[in-house]
Amino acid sequence: MNNSIVTEFMILGLTQKPELQRVLFIVFLFMYLLAFLGNALIAVAIIYNTTLHTPMYIFLLALAIVDIFCTTSIIPKMLGAMLTSGQSISYGSCMSQLFFFTWSLGDEMVLFTTMAYERYVAICFPLRYGTIMNDHMCVALLNITMVTAVTNSWIHPGLILRLTFCGPNTIDHFFCEIPPLLSLSCSPVRLNEVMVYVADITLSIGDFTLTCISFGFIVAAILHIRTAEGKRKAFSTCSSDLIVVSLHYSPVIYTYIRPASNYSFERDKVIAALYTLVTPTLNPIVDSFRNKEMQTGIQKVFAFLKH
């Protein structure tokens, strides 16, 4: 049972410098709208077009929904903090934000691995793709993703609920993130740090390793493509996917593998922006808008809206 004296937290945001706040507000508002509208458009296009009801696009749909949850649970509050030079958030709202963030973070990491596996099957076993990636396999992979993410989101907020917060109540971050909350605790946080470390090893490093293995097999298969143009397109696709995946996993691994006493919040706030906003903004561009089938689906949505 939680015995915290603190009933609300004060979120400082990215910076306390007024001249930087105005610039960052515009930049982050633009990126948030781009991420939200881009992922929403992808979701509508996939749902609306039955030709996109295939495993690859179903996983893209799931990723788009997760990215919307991730950005919406964090960025609007962060933008509000920028306008008011700090904004209060109730203890319950802080825990809710932490729950949705840890859920979306865990879900996205497992989804990246799932999507890499789907591409591995499509490129390395094209004749058996329909047999391997059938409806039962897709449902099973999505269920595994959801169960893993929900388990992750229950463990960390649940452990933080056991901590006592007796002051100060200022979160030196732009949202209710685990490291700054641990630094404010008046009670021991060793168990929390151990569980964060375990999750980082299993979810972040584990999923990143599996994703890289899948890409390794994909690259080996691409090398057997005879035409130079085919190789160029395939390598271009893989390299851009791997860049986005690395941009997501690297800062997550860096953030959570260290004990709370080693955090530098000024630096870590910038790093956290990579996996809370930059990656959700890049995902629709890299994974969907460059794809001709996706572009056709989006054009059909716009055509439907016009009529």
Identify the CATH number of the domain in which residue 272 sits: 1.20.1070.10
| Rounded Cα–Cα distance for residues 63 and 66 (Å) | 5
Residue 295 lies in a domain: no
Q: How far apart are CA 240 and CA 200, in angstroms?
A: 24
Determine the average pLDDT of the residues in 68-90: 83
Q: What is the pLDDT of residue 32?
A: 93
- Altogether, the residues listed in the chain come to a count of 307
d(CA 307, CA 296) in angstroms, rounded, equals: 17
Distance CA(173)–CA(178), nearest Å, equals 10
Residue pLDDT, tens place only, 102-114: 999 889 889 989 9
Question: Is residue 2 assigned to a domain?
Answer: no
Q: What is the DSSP letter of 8?
A: E
Report, as an integer, the average pLDDT of 208-219: 86
In a domain, 60, yes or no: yes
Give me the mean pLDDT over the 49-54 stretch: 89
Q: What is the pLDDT of residue 83?
A: 76
Measuring CA to CA, which residue among 248, 232, 147, 155 is closest to residue 197?
A: 155
Average pLDDT, the chain: 84
Domains held by the chain: number: 1
Residue 262 has pLDDT above 70, yes or no: no
- For the ranges 10-14, 19-23, 173-177, 239-243, the maximum mean pLDDT occurs at 173-177
Query: What domain range is 240 assigned to?
Result: 8-282
| pLDDT value of position 123 | 84
SS3 177: coil
Residue 298: pLDDT band (50, 70, 90) is: confident
Q: Where are the alpha helices (DSSP H) in 185-291?
A: 190-199, 206-222, 228-256, 265-273, 279-284
The position carrying tokens 């630094």 is 183
Contact 120, 217 (CB under 8 A): yes
| 1 inside domain | no
Tell me whether residue 303 is in a domain.
no
On whether residue 19 sits in a domain, the answer given is yes
Residue type, 15: T
Residue 232 is predicted with a pLDDT of 64
Q: What per-residue confidence (pLDDT) applies to 292?
A: 79
Q: In whole angstroms, how far apart are CA 288 and each of 61, 119, 285? A: 10, 14, 6
**So what's the pLDDT on residue 234?**
61
Q: In whole angstroms, what is the distance from residue 73 CA to residue 99 CA?
A: 10
Mean predicted confidence (pLDDT) in 63-70: 92
Residues 6+ apart with CB under 8 A from 125: 132
| 304 lies in some domain | no
Note the pLDDT of residue 228: 63
Q: How many helices (H) and strands (E) does the chain have?
A: 12, 3
Question: Cα separation of 279 and 283, whole Å?
Answer: 6
Residue 307: burial class (beta carbons within 10 Å; 0-12, 13-18, 19+): exposed
224 pLDDT above the threshold of 70:
yes
**Res. 265 pLDDT band, cuts 50 70 90:** low
Mean pLDDT computed over 46-72: 91
The pLDDT assigned to 260 comes to 60
Give 228 or 193, the one with higher predicted confidence.
193
With a cut of 60, say whether residue 217 has pLDDT above it: yes
Reduced 3-state DSSP string for 86-112: CEEEEHHHHHHHHHHHHHHHHHHHHHH
* Alpha-carbon span 36 to 69, nearest angstrom: 9
193, part of any domain:
yes
In the predicted structure, residue 240 carries a pLDDT above the cut 80 = no
- How many percent of the chain have pLDDT more than 90? 25
Record the tokens describing residue 277, joined without a space: 């906003």
- Calpha distance 272→14 (Å, rounded): 10
Evaluate if residue 303 carries a pLDDT over 90: no
What is the structure's pLDDT at 13?
Answer: 78
Lowest mean pLDDT among 16-20, 87-91, 222-226, 299-303: 222-226
Q: What's residue 301's pLDDT?
A: 85
